Structure 1
Amino acid sequence: MSTADKVLAIEVAAGRRRLYQLSRLRPSAKGDDRTMISLDSTGQLAVLTEALNGWADGIRRHQPERVASHFTPDALFQGFDKKHTIGRPGIVTYYDKQPVGVSPEFQVMEYRQLADDALIAYVDVDFIRPNGVVVPVHLTVVLQNVEGLWLISHYHVSKIDLATTA
């Protein structure tokens, strides 16, 4: 792939800044001219950080619909509840029952691109409750590029038992 075929694209749409590198695939024997998304490490981290900042901001503002807008319509979601949910309505319900004033602080620990349109990340998150109690968790997220937006398609959180960590 030649350098001329690579373009660094920065777009602003729907209030979200999207940073990714676009690479033109060679036309196949059928003659199609598909575009794939190939992210370098900096681009991967930028995409993840932007998506997680949007998620966290929606939680801080206690806007469950806004939180859910950062997920795909068919997202697999496992929060602290015993049962998982599929899709935005369940995500709205989950975040609506959280106390007002919860503030997540996160650090992306590991990440990689799974496919042209998918990223996975392992994230440490501290959910700070209004009373100051910190609930540390490990979070695994898969982001999917859907019509130019990077959205969370898989979310699985695990509480950290501080009494057993050393």
Structure 2
Amino acid sequence: MNSTKDSQAILRDVLDQWKAAVDKHEPEQVASHFTEDALFQGLHPYSVGRSGIAAYYASQPLGLTADYRILETRRLADDLVLGYLSVDFSFTDRPTLGVYLSILLKRVQDGWAIAHYQVSHLD
């Protein structure tokens, strides 16, 4: 596999698990896909670590779902993969919110985890 395909496969593996946990409204499971010290910036003030990430997703409404599309990937080092994505968050009671997501995955003991998550909302 070439580097881009390999990086996309790594991103998809982690993001598919993240998406499944978001779609099921399982905040602790969402947070488990992040490193212990992950820097997380959603659409609220940032947090560091899994507890802040779990709290963020716990505050999201039931029925929230996420659909992502990988726009760019870069393999920064053997243990780091950078991804730039578009993500559509759908709700049951309001229009879909489209955002851009920069994500940095880090190789950890049992696979890959999200070390940095930065959402941008462009009007």
Instruction: Tell me which interval the TM-score lies in, with the shorter structure as reference length.
Output: over 0.9
Q: Which amino acid aligns with 1:117?
A: D
Greater relative contact order (CA < 8 Å, ≥ 6 in sequence): 2
**1:71 alignment partner in structure 2:** 34
**1:61 alignment partner in structure 2:** 24
Q: How do 1:131-146 and structure 2 match up within 5 A?
A: 131=93, 133-146=95-108
Which portions of structure 1, spanning 4 or more consecutive aligned residues, are displaced by more than 4 angstroms?
A: none
Give the number of aligned pairs. Answer: 123
Deviation at 1:43, TM superposition (A): 1.3
Q: Among 79, 82, 102, which residue is 2:64 paired with?
A: 102
Given the alignment of the two structures, is residue 157 of structure 1 paired with residue 119 of structure 2, yes or no? yes
What secondary structure is seen at the aligned counterpart in 1 of 2:92?
Answer: coil
**1:122 alignment partner in structure 2:** 84
> Unmatched 5+ residue regions in structure 1?
1-20, 22-38, 162-166
Deviation at 1:148, TM superposition (A): 3.7
> Unmatched 5+ residue regions in structure 2?
none
TM-score of the aligned structures, taking structure 2 as reference length: 0.95
RMSD over equivalenced CA pairs, Å:
1.3
Distance 2:54 2:29 in 1: 9
Deviation at 1:42, TM superposition (A): 1.5
Deviation at 1:132, TM superposition (A): 5.2
TM-score of the aligned structures, taking structure 1 as reference length: 0.71
Q: Which amino acid aligns with 1:124?
A: S
- Rg larger in structure: 1
Going by fraction, where is helix more abundant, 1 or 2?
2
